[in-house]
Each structure stands twice: as structure tokens, then as C-alpha cells.
Amino acid sequence: MNIPQQASWMVRKIMEARKTIQQLPEVKQRQSVIKQIYLGLLGNHNKVAWGALMFHNEARPKSVFTMWIQCHGRMLTADRLTKWGIQVNPRCNLCNSADESHMHLFGECSFSRAVWCRLLKWLQMCDASVIPWTQMVTWVIIQSKGKSCKARILKMIYAEYIYGIWKERNNRIFEEKSRNAEQIAREVACICNIRAQG
């Protein structure tokens, strides 16, 4: 059926949606028609490993969003900006010992590791601080699955940690202000403590 030209934009959208739905496989059961249509439109996608970190995370929305960008590897670190032809200082502003990259900033940087180790100590998980960062993310994902209090707090701590490191990096670059690892760890712990109680 052709869509009339004089139809409003809303009618045209409905008619286009009708064509899309008609192309979907036939609905088998009458009880869950909407669910079957939704799943048909959604398509088959693999579940991401870090999905457990995102859902039911009680961290601040800006922290969860920053963590989502970090999980996608899309943080605008110096190495990415350089690839785009933007002239930036390639050194890590947190430790000044290596070039800034996604992996370095959140895992290999001595400053970031110091913050993470303090947070794990606060959680009484000191034995996990010796795990390499590539395995640490997997460890956090595994530990944060489920609805236990420990899983909820670890999800929140991880999101606030990512945000805290990113914020400190930006403060050092754009505002020329800096704090030490202890101050950042205390701020993250305080935020998580307040949000866990409320």
C-alpha cells in the first residue's frame, strides 16, 4: 500500500512501521505478540560481558555513563586524540611516566593503581589488588553479578573509580589542580557509602 503524500508525518511513520512489522516472521502465540515483535525488531545480538556492571548500578548517573564509555574503549585519551591529528601532550598527567592510553590510564598507571588498591583495601579485598588490569576487569565483572550487597557495592565502587580517575585527569589538564590518590579514594568511598545507605 502506497503512503499518501498528503498524510501527516505521524501517519507516514505508522505506515512505514506497518511495512517493517509485516516483514517479521509470523507471530506464533497470541499471548506474547508484543514481546515477539520487539525481539524480532531487536535482532540477535551477543550479550556484552560488562552488562552486569551497568544494570542496577547505584552509582551516580554521570559515573555510570563514564564507565559505559570506558567499557566501549571510547574515552578521549591522548593516544586517540593523536590518531585524529589533534596535538596534545602524550604523557600521562597522573604519573608522568608513560604515554596516556586507555589501558595505561585505568590499569597500568601507578597513580590509578594506588587509588584502586586503596578502594580494594576499604572493601577488604586486598588480595585482588595484585591481579593485572586485563584480568581485573574480568574479575570485577564476575564479582559484580548477582544481587548481593557485595556485588552492588563493587559495581558502584568500580563506576565511581572510573569517574574519579577521569575527573582527576581532566582537572590536571584543564584546571591545573591535583589531588593525591588517598584523597580520590576517600572521595569515592564516601560517595559510595552515602549512596549505599540511601
Verify that 90 and 177 share a domain, yes or no. Answer: yes
Residues 160/57, Cβ–Cβ less than 8 Å:
no
Shared domain for 57 and 151, answered yes or no, is yes
User: CA–CA separation, 168 vs 189, rounded Å?
Assistant: 15
Q: What is the pLDDT of residue 107?
A: 86
Low pLDDT (below 50) residues in the chain: none
Structural domain count, the chain = 2
| 169 and 134 inside one domain | yes
Do 136 and 156 lie in one domain? The reply is: yes
Q: What angle do CA 50, 56, 59 make, to 5 degrees?
A: 90
> What is the DSSP code string of 26-86?
PP--STTHHHHHHHHHH---PPPTTHHHHTT--S-HHHHHHHHHHHTT----HHHHHHTT-
Domain that holds residue 19: 9-42
Report if residue 120 sits inside a domain. yes
Look at residues 12, 166, 7, 5 and name the one whose alpha carbon lies nearest to residue 100.
166
- Based on the domain organization, do 177 and 142 belong to the same domain? yes
The pLDDT value recorded for residue 26 is 72
* φ, ψ at 197 (rounded to 5°): -80, -25
pLDDT for the residue numbered 28: 67
Residue 172 lies in a domain: yes
Q: Which residues pair with 62 in a beta bridge?
A: none
Q: What is the pLDDT of residue 29?
A: 65
What does the block give as the cell for 169?
585527569
DSSP conformation letters of 102-140: HHIIIII-HHHHHHHHHHHHHTT-GGGGGS-HHHHHHHH
- Does residue 4 lie in a domain region? no
According to DSSP, the residues that pair with 108 across neighbouring strands are none
66 and 114 in a single domain? The answer is yes
The pTM of the full predicted model, rounded to 2 decimals, is 0.80
Residue 2: inside a domain: no
